[in-house]
Amino acid sequence: MADVTAAAVKALREQSGAGMMDCKSALVETDGDMDAAMDLLRTKGLSAAAKKAGRAASEGLIGLKTAGTKGTLVEVNSETDFVARNETFQSFVGTVTAIAQDIGGDFDALKAAPYPNSDRTVEEEAVQMVATIGENISLRRSTSLEVTNGFVAQYVHNRVADGLGKIGVIVALESDAPADKLAEIGKNLAMHICSADPQSIDIASLDPAVLERERKILSDQARESGKPEEIVEKMVEGRLRKYYEESVLLEQVYVLDTDTKVGKAVEAAAKDAGADIKVAGYVRYNLGEGLEQKEDDFAEEVARLSN
């Protein structure tokens, strides 16, 4: 049996919202496997965070740039939010985003690309920024979307400057519709994605492994009711429909019109524009998602400042 540490119990409690003893019991039962313990808590109905994939931890900025049929997102991390408000740092992120847009978002190519007005690469310039700003700067990721015919729209949340913020979304639409019509529905979709954080565009594109895991959890929950297996199957299918409504973009309730679903809103926009509109892809960057949050030791900090 794995040694269940207090730190592991605390981490599971923060992720799940369940009680301390329930978290400890789940970790003991699953031999310390954090994912399995989370599933067990959900099966027992003890988890208050069924969709939490990770805590937004690091500071910095999301850079975002679009132009017609192409759009790009970049994440650059810093140690503090204070640096994210620094104009030098903001200029650096904006420049890096423009470079990423030009080269198509490939992260390795971005790091190796020449930085303007210097003899350094983008990655080397990031190292130089550490000396200039006085804290660690990290290039984390970049992604581009492009369509042959259509439009790539954008939305940035918690904006600190043009194309810079804490959450960035780009949405690629394939269509023969006029650009202004696509820009309107595209921005609205990007705002929805920012708020609702879907896992996929449609049901068919859901990750099969994620879907199978969800089905197993729902089946285990339903069987705890003690009902016959044929009733359990119907319960699972009903709960899966609810899961699709929470996780799949075109099945979600549209945040700009809660009387309709996103899929219907796209159909209405296509009818208004006089041409079919297909959501070809989207990317959502939430600053620091999945990164471990730095925890300061208060006592250590006091001792350091006292010396």
pLDDT digits (tens, 9 = 90+) for 90-108: 999 999 999 999 999 899 9
Between 134 and 183, the higher pLDDT residue: 183
Mean per-residue pLDDT, 164-193: 97
Kindly provide the b/e burial profile for residues 78-98, where b requires at least 16 CB atoms within 10 angstroms of the residue's own CB.
bbeeebbebeebbebbbbbbe
Confidence of residue 62 (pLDDT cuts 50, 70, 90): very high
Confidence check: pLDDT of 196 > 70 = yes
Residue 71 near residue 93, CB atoms below 8 Å? no
pLDDT at 114: 96
pLDDT score of 307 more than 80:
no
Nearest Cα to 288, choosing from 12, 60, 83, 91?
60
Mean pLDDT value of segment 40-52: 58
Maximum distance among all Cα pairs of the chain, rounded to whole angstroms: 71
- Percentage of the chain with pLDDT > 70? 88
Distance CA 268, CA 195 (A): 21
CA distance 7 to 232: 37
Residue 304 scores a pLDDT above 60: no
Supply the pTM of this predicted model. 0.73
With 90 as the cut, is the pLDDT of residue 261 above it? yes
- pLDDT (tens digit per residue) in 232-243: 777 777 788 888
Q: How confident is the model over 12-18, as a mean pLDDT?
A: 72
Instruction: Show the tokens assigned to 21.
Output: 């003893």
Give yes or no for a contact between 39 and 26, defined as CB atoms under 8 angstroms apart: no
Give the pLDDT confidence of 211-221 residue by residue, as tens digits. 888 888 888 77
pLDDT over threshold 60, residue 297: no
Taking residues 36-65, report their average pLDDT. Answer: 66
pLDDT of residue 129: 83
Structural domains in the chain, sorted by start: 1-52 (1.10.8.10), 59-176+279-286 (3.30.479.20)
Report the distance separating Cα 90 and Cα 60, nearest Å: 9
CB 51 within 8 A of CB 242: no
Q: What is the pLDDT of residue 47?
A: 56
Q: Is the pLDDT confidence value at 67 over 80?
A: yes
